[in-house]
Chain A
Amino acid sequence: MVKINININNKAYSEEVGDNTLLVELLRDKLGLTGTHVGCDTSQCGACVIHVDGDSVKSCTVLAAQVHGKDLTTVEGLASDGQLHPIQKSFQNNHALQCGFCTPGLVMSAVDLLKKNSSPSEDEIREWFEGHICRCTGYKNIIKAVQEAITQ
């Protein structure tokens, strides 16, 4: 077991984790933060994307022990005071989800994109989502949602 201290959504956690526990397993199974999903478990689908020290990463491909001392944000940490984050709102406005399974990862990725590039072109948005798979939407409305969020 490894002892780690981490911050998740501005809350401090001190946890004992297995040496081979994945970060996404810690979040979902131990801490109950089930907004982060596991799709492929092979770092291809992007359903598990969260932020570690401000960068979007795939939490299925990080060991929990690796994030000792780091700041994490999961999809649960986006809304504040009962108000959805602008990206969440624009996903809702544009019907950018159907089954919703991939959505938490896409939303976290989109937040990271707009933090790094405040006015991405459509090509840049599509490139940024390369590591995400959505089987419902055909991506069209996801792109539209990000474009709407740019203007807000």
Chain B
Amino acid sequence: MYNFRYHKAETIETARSLIAQSDDPKILAGGHTLIPTLKQRLSQPSDIIDISSIDELKMITLGDGFVTIGALCTHSDISNSPDIKKNIKGLADLAKQIGDPQVRHKGTIGGSVANADPAADYPAAVLALDGEIITSAENHKATNFFVDMFETSLDSDEIITGIRLKIPNSSTYKKFRNPASGYAMVGVFMARYDNDVKIAVTGASSSAYRMLDVEDSLMSNFNNDIMADVDIDTTNFNDDIHASAKYRGVILKVLLEEAILELK
């Protein structure tokens, strides 16, 4: 690891002023992506600003058809939350499929969303649940947030404080897990609302995206027989040592069908 200056920020305001005073700061939440990245010397921040003790970012609150999840809620907090299990079952299941129990005790939803790993799980849920990313500066609609591989619409001095999700009637997350890393080779989050269906895919391409054409087909006929007419365009799909683009396309089709059958 290169050297850096470590700061513990007890409030968001302190964190913001530390960011303003630093040349090349990085925010530390759970650290389960950042610390491995630092160890590999893939990143050389001047300052690490640890926000993990800001308790107000650790709450899950329910209200008027929405759930707001504090940025510092861990995958374990989310998978074990009675409110999440009851209202967004797909999200509790998703959180339980990340990494392993020890990783889930540390990794946070805010960190994962900010990092925007193309194979991360949460981006699919945040998109399909009509999410908003709440930050120290503004609210971002999820549909404009995930720009590209590890790239979001966050400004460099912005801190994610929470994720606001619209509670669906039912939801599910289907994931084809890389057996070594646990990351999604392909993951599909599907949510049903009154007169609406939302689907988002992660792991398949450079960033998570909505499947508007399949959503349209399912809105008029929520049945797996629509899959016979779905043609997956794999032109921009990831093609790497884990899976070819074509194989990811096949997996995606299977996962979509499984999701429809579960929510039918």
A interface residues, Cβ below 8 angstroms from B: 2, 19-20, 22, 41-43, 46, 49, 55-58, 61-63, 65-66, 68-69, 109, 112-113, 128, 130-132
Contacts and interface: CB of A to CB of B under 8 A. Distances in A.
Interface residues of B, number: 27
- Chain A's interface: helix, strand, loop or mixed, by majority? mixed
B32 A61 contact: yes
Interface centre among A2, A19, A43 (most CB of B within 10 A): A43
Q: Which 3 A-B pairs have the closest CB atoms?
A: A131-B100, A19-B6, A130-B100
Contacts of A128: 101
Given A20-B3, A20-B4, A131 B105 contact: no
Interface of B: 1-6, 8, 28, 31-32, 35-36, 38-39, 48, 50, 52-53, 76, 99-103, 105-106, 182
Given A20-B4, A63-B6, A58 B101 contact: no
Contacts, number: 72
Contact of A41 (B39, B50, B52): B39
Contact of B103 (A2, A43, A112, A113): A43
B102 A65 contact: no
A56 B3 contact: no
A43 B36 contact: yes
A66 B28 contact: yes
Contacts of B6: 2, 19-20, 63, 65
Contacts of A131: 99-103
